[in-house]
Structure 1
Amino acid sequence: MARSAGPACALLGIGREAASFERRGFLPAPPAVQQRLEGIGRTFIDGYRAALSAASAEALAAQLDAEIPLAGRGFAYEGAGMGLALLDLLMPWTASRLQAFLAGPALAHCYIVHVGAGWALARLPWGEGYRRRLDPLLGWLAYDGWGFHRGYFGGGRIPAAYPARLGMAARRVHDQGLGRSLWFVCGADPWRVAMAVAGLDAGRHADLWAGVGLAATYAGGADEAALGELRRLAGAHAGWLAQGAAFAAKARLHAGNPTADTERGCRALCGCDAVTAAAATDRALQALPADGPEPAYALWRHRIHALLRPRSEEPVPC
C-alpha cells in the first residue's frame, strides 16, 4: 500500500516506521520473531492509512483484500477500525463510517474491527462515549484496543495506572488489551512476558494473561516449547491464558483466516484444537443475558474460562 492516503492521512498519519522495535523502545527479539511482530505493526498501519482515504466501506475492504495476504488481513482490518473510528469522532455530523464497514464488508472481521476502534478512543479524550454506539457485546473490545494502544506506545514501559475515565468493568477489558501488547513489547519471550505481568498488581494478572494468550495465538511467533513454557509460567492463570487463546481462534475462524499459529496456540494453551476452542466461545454465548450488574462481555469471558480451565492451575514463581 504505497499509494498516497490523502489529506486526512497527512493530518492523522502514522508512518510505517512507527512499527519498528527501535522506534517503540522494545528490547530486541530473535530476528525472525522481531521481523514478524514488526510486520504485523506495519500491516495495521497500512489498514489504518487506507481507511483515512477510502471512498467507501466497500472500496476499503476491496483494497485490503487485494493487497494484504489472508493470514495478516485481520491486522489491516484492525487498523481500518481505528481509522474509521477516528474519522467518526472528528466528524460526528456524518453517518458513521465504522458502522457502515461493520454492517457490510467487515462483518467477518467484526471482532478485530471493534478492537481497532479502541485505538481511536485512546487518542481522543472525548471518545469514550463512542463505545456505546458500537455492538452491545463486541463493543467492549474497544477497551481491549485502548489497553493495547497504551502498552504498545508506552516506549517499552508498561503503564501501571489506568486512564481516569475507565470504570471497573472497562479496566478489566483494558488489561486484556494491555496483556496483548506485552507479547509485542516483550518480543514473544515467555519469561519477559511473565516478569512484565508480575510487575503489575496481582488483581490484574488474570486479565493480563488472557490478553497474552490471545496475542500468542492470533499474532503467533512462538513454537510449541515456548508456548508450553508460557502456560507453565501462567500457573494459576492458565485458564485465562486459554480463554484468550479461544478468543483468538474464534476471531480467526470467523474471518476465515486461521493459521498454523492458531492451531498450535490452542493445542498448547487450551489443550484442544482451534475448532474446539472456538466452539467453546459459542457455547458460552448461549442464553447470555444483556448487560446488568455484570456486563455480558465479562460473563462471556468467565464462561469460556470455566469451559477451558485446566484441572490443575498451580502458581509458578517467576
Structure 2
Amino acid sequence: MVSLLGRLRHMIFTPDVGEASLAVRGFPSRNSRAAAALEGAGTTFITGLGVGTECATAAQTAARLAEVDSARRGFAFEGAAMAMAIRDGLPLGHRRHLAEYRAVADEHRYMTYVGAGWALARLPRPLHRAALSGLTDQVLIWLALDGYGFHQAYFHTDRYIKDKYVDPRPPLVSPDHHDYAPHAVDQGIGRALWFVSGADPALAHTLIERFAPHRRADLYAGLGLAATYAGGASETELAHLIESARDYRECLWQGAIFAAEARARAGLVLPETEATLFALTGLRIADASRIAIETLPTRPTVDGVVAFEVWRTRIRSHCPAAAPMAPKGEM
C-alpha cells in the first residue's frame, strides 16, 4: 500500500505520461512501429519514475518494476533511478535510496547510472553531489552525464538540437577530468536524437551532420545506443545509416554494443535488439556483450585518460573494416 507521503512525492515529481507523446514533444511520428517504440519507452520511464517516488523502499520499487513487460522494463528501472537520485538529493529523510536501489537492481546497472543523471537536470546544482552519492563506480559515473544530456535534448530540443547549445557548466560528476564532460553529455544528446527524429535514421543523420565535426563522434555513439536499445527502424534503414555515416561507423558500433550489453545483463534481449545489433555491427548479442565486458577498465583513469573514454575506444577498436573515424578536434 502506498503511503500518504509516497502519494505526495508522486504528485510532485512525476509528470503525466502524456509528456512522452511524440505529438506533445513535437517529434515526427513516421509510422506506428517507430511511434510505439519511442512512446512506449517514454511512458514506461515515467511509470518507473512514479513507482520510485511512491514506494517506501528500493526493494519494493524493484519488485513492482519486475512486473513490467520485458520489452520496456529497462526504461522503468531507468525512471526509478531518477526518483532515487532525487530522493537522495533532497534534504529530507536518508540518503541511501540510490545505493539500496543499486543493490536490488544490479542487473540494470547501466540504466541506473543513466537514470540518476536525469535528476541532475531537475535538481539545483548544490544538491547534485548528494543525488549521486549512491553511485560508486567511477568508470560508469560518466553515464550520469549521458542521462543529463538526453534529458536536455528531449525537453529543450530547440536549444540543444536546433541551436546546438553547449552547456558551459555541465554537472560535476567527477572531481577529475571535468573537461571530458561535454563528450558524455553529447552521447546523451545523440541518444535523444533517435527520439527527436522519430526513429528515422536518415533524419537523425541529417540532424547530426548539422553539428560541428568535433561533436559528431559522440552524437553517433549515442544514436547507435538508442537505435539498438529502443528500436523502431528497419534493417534496410539502418544499412543506409551505416553508409551515410560511414566515417563514424565505429561510433555507431560502440553505441550499439553498449545497448546490447545493457539488455543482455538485464536479460531483456528482444528479437528486434538482435536484428538491430546485427544490422549495425554484424555481431550477435553474446559476442557484443563479451566485448563490452572484456574491454571495461577497472580504474577511473588509464594512463591519465578517462577510463570511460578508454572503454569506448577499446570497443571501437573491435570494429572491422571501418573507415577511419573523423577526428574529434578540441572541445
User: Is the TM value for this pair above 0.5?
Assistant: yes
Match of 1:112 in 2: 111
Match of 1:138 in 2: 140
Alpha-carbon separation, structure 1, partners of 2:42 and 2:157: 15
- 1:255-294 to 2 correspondence within 5 Å? 255-285=266-296, 288-291=298-301, 293-294=304-305
Deviations 1:140-193 (A, max 9, x none): 110000010011112456152222223431110111110000000101111110
- 1:10-89 to 2 correspondence within 5 Å? 10-66=11-67, 68-89=68-89
Alpha-carbon separation, structure 1, partners of 2:309 and 2:12: 37
Match of 2:316 in 1: 305
**TM-superposed deviation, 1:308:** 2.0
Deviates more, 1:44-53 or 1:93-102: 93-102
Alpha-carbon separation, structure 1, partners of 2:92 and 2:249: 42
Q: What is the aligned counterpart of 1:165 among 153, 166, 169?
A: 169
Match of 1:204 in 2: 215
Q: Is the 8 A contact 1:242 1:309 kept in 2?
A: no
Q: Is the 8 A contact 2:85 2:132 kept in 1?
A: no
**TM-superposed deviation, 1:124:** 1.7
Counterpart code for 2:147? G
Deviates more, 1:184-193 or 1:124-133: 124-133
Alpha-carbon separation, structure 2, partners of 1:246 and 1:40: 19
CA separation of 1:37/1:101 partners in 2, compared to 1, >3 Å: closer, same or farther? same
Counterpart code for 1:124? L
> Does residue 244 of structure 2 align to residue 240 of structure 1?
no
Q: What is the aligned counterpart of 1:184 among 195, 204, 208?
A: 195
Alpha-carbon separation, structure 2, partners of 1:164 and 1:277: 35
What SS does the aligned partner of 1:70 have? coil
Match of 2:329 in 1: none
**How many correspondences in the alignment?**
310
Q: TM-score, normalised by structure 1?
A: 0.92
Counterpart code for 1:55? A
**TM-superposed deviation, 1:309:** 4.9
Question: Which sections of structure 1, spanning at least 5 residues, go unmatched?
Answer: none
Q: TM-score, normalised by structure 2?
A: 0.88
**TM-superposed deviation, 1:51:** 0.4
Q: Is the 8 A contact 1:118 1:142 kept in 2?
A: yes
Match of 1:193 in 2: 204
Counterpart code for 2:80? A
What SS does the aligned partner of 1:71 have? coil
Q: Is the 8 A contact 1:27 1:156 kept in 2?
A: no
CA separation of 1:198/1:296 partners in 2, compared to 1, >3 Å: closer, same or farther? same
Counterpart code for 1:110? R
Counterpart code for 2:79? G
CA separation of 1:202/1:56 partners in 2, compared to 1, >3 Å: closer, same or farther? same
What SS does the aligned partner of 2:301 have? coil
**TM-superposed deviation, 1:37:** 0.8
Q: Is the 8 A contact 2:228 2:259 kept in 1?
A: yes
Question: Which sections of structure 2, spanning at least 5 residues, go unmatched?
Answer: 171-177, 327-331
Q: Is the 8 A contact 1:238 1:309 kept in 2?
A: no
Q: Is the 8 A contact 1:43 1:76 kept in 2?
A: yes
CA separation of 1:131/1:301 partners in 2, compared to 1, >3 Å: closer, same or farther? farther
CA separation of 1:92/1:110 partners in 2, compared to 1, >3 Å: closer, same or farther? farther
CA separation of 1:156/1:33 partners in 2, compared to 1, >3 Å: closer, same or farther? farther
Deviates more, 1:224-233 or 1:69-78: 224-233
**TM-superposed deviation, 1:314:** 8.1
RMSD, aligned CA: 2.0
